Amino acid sequence: MMTKKKLTILGATGSIGLNTLDVVARHPDRYEVVALTGHRQIERLYELCLAHRPRYAVVGHAEDAVQLAERLAAAGLATEVKNGPRALEEVASLPEVDAVMAAIVGAAGLAPTLAAVRAGKQVLLANKEALVMAGHLFMAEVRAHGATLLPIDSEHNAVFQSLPAYYAGDAEREGVSKILLTASGGPFRTLPLERLASVTPEEACAHPNWSMGRKISVDSATMMNKGLEVIEARWLFNLAPQQIEVVIHPQSVVHSLVQYVDGSVLAELGNPDMRTPIAHALAWPERIDAGVAPLDLPAIARLDFEAPDLARFPCLGLAYRALAAGGDAAVVLNAANEVAVAAFLDGKLPFLGIAKVIAATLDALPPAPLPHLAAVFAADARARQVAAHHVERFEK
């Protein structure tokens, strides 16, 4: 009889978490959900607990924990409900857990993801900010604790699949010349430039190919999402910035490519559905059904590629700038972006103001070393203050 893989899903109520649970539900003989977490979406977390019956559930606030615990008890479930950041770290490092889906969006996901790494878990990494903020420190922890890191972003998962088996970060030895991260170009790829000043949050969140949360949808519209993925790829695959190229591919069928020194280019293709990389990582090194329709190339008929326009997508250029600067520049970039995107979604900042706030924050905070994780969080806090100040200037 197959031993079930026991899972903690951080960020279970988001799009990645829900897609993970969809794949898990297709294979009840292979997977058991031990813990689910959701910050404030208590109703959705309640429904997920009823469906998957985890041993633990974690929410952000104590009053929500009390409410959820009462409802679950009334439904006859013995799920233990916890709350707060420490509880996230606890369920990410439970001795009985084999794999952790790290899908909490933003800087809040760093600490519990690190907890899973330090516990030597198989970490399915959907939280790109962990590597953006603390790349060399994070990868050092992975090596020190023998954790297994499997990328969930469709682009990084595609690169992972297209690299030699058990690639260990030596591109020269493996004959890798560069990787190409594909980007859809988002909803504004062909929008007249003069219209960008007036686009709304609803327009920015209407991604043409992928179903995602609001923050990541805005990041896709600005192409900051791709910029963060460039930084993530630098640490995941131990590549120099000039070995990471971004190419716009509107169909989102080629998820990314690896170019080798002999002229070969290997790519991973599939329909734009996050269940494919999730299923790949859940079952690695095996393969399982993800519930995704097979690719029909004749129906697609054509695949287009173009270079990104940095005048249209200045956030991508800012990400390369932060990567080249080193130190805490990527922390500053990420924090400023989170503040700016939140302000845009709240109607406090125009769309074009996102890049301006990020650039102003980078200008105000010259790169500083990151010798330890405390420095990461300190840099994050400083950058948020500076970015908030620049958002206020827009409001005035």
Q: Are 157 and 69 part of one and the same domain?
A: no
Q: Are 388 and 332 part of one and the same domain?
A: yes
Output the pLDDT for position 329.
Answer: 98
Domain span at residue 141 reads: 5-151
Q: Are 306 and 337 part of one and the same domain?
A: no
Residues 303-341 have pLDDT tens digits of 999 999 999 999 999 999 999 999 999 999 999 999 999
Q: Is a pLDDT exceeding 80 seen at residue 232?
A: yes
**Beta carbons within 10 angstroms of residue 136's beta carbon:** 12
Q: Is a pLDDT exceeding 90 seen at residue 231?
A: yes
Residues 32-74 have pLDDT tens digits of 999 999 989 999 999 999 999 999 999 999 999 999 999 999 9
What pairing do the DSSP bridges indicate for beta strands 56-59 and 122-125? unpaired
Is residue 285 exposed (0-12), middle (13-18) or buried (19+ Cβ within 10 Å)?
Answer: exposed
Q: Are 133 and 200 part of one and the same domain?
A: no
Distance of alpha carbon 151 from alpha carbon 230, whole angstroms: 13
Residue 308 domain flag: yes
Output the pLDDT for position 214.
Answer: 86
Count structural domains, the chain: 3
Q: Are 207 and 288 part of one and the same domain?
A: yes
Residue 321 domain flag: no
Residues 352-367 have pLDDT tens digits of 999 999 999 999 999 9
**Beta carbons within 10 angstroms of residue 36's beta carbon:** 29
Output the pLDDT for position 108.
Answer: 86
CATH number at residue 72: 3.40.50.720
Q: Are 226 and 82 part of one and the same domain?
A: no
Q: Are 188 and 276 part of one and the same domain?
A: yes
Residue 388 domain flag: yes
CATH number at residue 373: 1.10.1740.10
Q: How confident is the model at residue 210 (pLDDT cuts 50, 70, 90)?
A: low
Q: Is a pLDDT exceeding 70 seen at residue 1?
A: no
Full DSSP string of 325-377: H-TTHHHHHHHHHHHHHHHHHTTSS-TTHHHHHHHHHHHHS------SHHHHH
pTM of the model: 0.92
Coil, helix or strand at residue 125: strand
Q: Are 200 and 261 part of one and the same domain?
A: yes
Q: Are 188 and 308 part of one and the same domain?
A: yes
Distance of alpha carbon 293 from alpha carbon 312, whole angstroms: 33
Q: Are 124 and 18 part of one and the same domain?
A: yes
**Last-in-domain residue among 316, 346, 366:** 316
Percentage of residues of the chain with pLDDT beyond 90: 92
Nearest to 121 by CA among 93, 141, 143: 93
**Beta carbons within 10 angstroms of residue 96's beta carbon:** 10
Q: Are 119 and 67 part of one and the same domain?
A: yes
**Last-in-domain residue among 316, 351, 383:** 316
DSSP letter for 317, please.
H
Q: Is a pLDDT exceeding 70 seen at residue 300?
A: yes
Q: In this structure, which amino acid lies at residue 20?
A: T
Asked whether the beta carbons of 14 and 103 are under 8 A apart, the reply is yes
Residue 90 token pair: 């606890």
Nearest to 27 by CA among 48, 55, 44, 7: 7
**Last-in-domain residue among 279, 294, 316:** 316
Distance of alpha carbon 153 from alpha carbon 115, whole angstroms: 20
Q: Are 213 and 293 part of one and the same domain?
A: yes
